[in-house]
Amino acid sequence: MVVNADGLSENQMQKIARELNNSETAFLFSPDDNSCDARIRFFTPTTEVPTCGHATIAAMHAKALEENLESCVIQTKTKIGVLPFEIIRSNDRIKIWMTQGDIEFEPPLPIDIQQQIVNHLGLSFEDLDKKCPIQIVSTGHSKVMVGISGRDTLNKLNPSMDGLKKVSEIIKCNGFFVYTLNSHDSSILSYGRMFAPAIGINEDPVTGNANGPLGAYLVKNKLVKGGGESFSFLGAQGEAIERQGVVEVLVSIQNDEPKRVKIAGEAVVIFRTTIEI
């Protein structure tokens, strides 16, 4: 991520994101009005996206280090509105809570589109978890939720990226989150993989904007026990490509409906560099 990005043009940000070649690169800016404490933008190697979970965690971690911040809430302007990002600092550990955008559900996809998605993922309908509808869910950046029956099948997936690109054009959604609730891990509810070739991300190691919507989706479709004011779980991702991470998800519930999603995680500094423009 890039701190102190004031003065960078959109073209320069896109070139930096392409050079770094991460799933997303975050750029932090000074506030432009009294509604926020900071602004943030996100770029994949090929395009700008409205929001991003893991890049937000990284950006707030870097901001806390650069400015020597204590625990606080940063009201941050994104492409989906001003959202509170919470920094919790305890000794040398920094944990970030990201509040995501409004929850939106689309109806289950038509059967012919489902068939295309299943085929391009290299699955059959027998691999699907029959309790889990294939539908688009968003908390600011939409994903297709595809529930399957087992972790072994998940890790063996070898999708057709060209095929998924074509479906993305049809359904106007660029991310396909394939997950299983049969994790065989008492501490982890779900394991997932996220493919978004239409925006230059064949596979994202860990995706906050997939695991967050998954939480809302599970509550909405009554796939988890309800009745309370919140639901929380840990979602793992990246196992198949040996870049595993865990996302903590918290869903606020009102009248048995998901109302707001927050995700949490921690970051580590891998390297620092200077880019001349």
Given 10, 24, 67, 276, the catalytic residue: 24
Integer Cα distance of 214 and 91 in angstroms: 32
The residues pairing with 26 across neighbouring beta strands, listed in sequence order, are 42
Structure tokens at 47: 């395009």
* Among 226, 215, 212, 216, residue whose Cα is nearest residue 264: 212
Question: Any idea which residue has 């479906």 for tokens?
Answer: 167
The C-alpha R_g of the chain, in whole angstroms, comes to: 18
* Nearest CA-CA partner of 30 in 58, 5, 11: 5
The closest alpha carbon to 102, from 171, 146, 50, belongs to: 50
Residues 103/236/163/110 CA torsion (nearest 10 deg): -40
Per the annotation, the verdict on 24 as an active-site residue is yes
Q: Which two tokens stand for residue 120?
A: 């391009």
Structure tokens at 17: 């994101």
Which positions are catalytic? 24
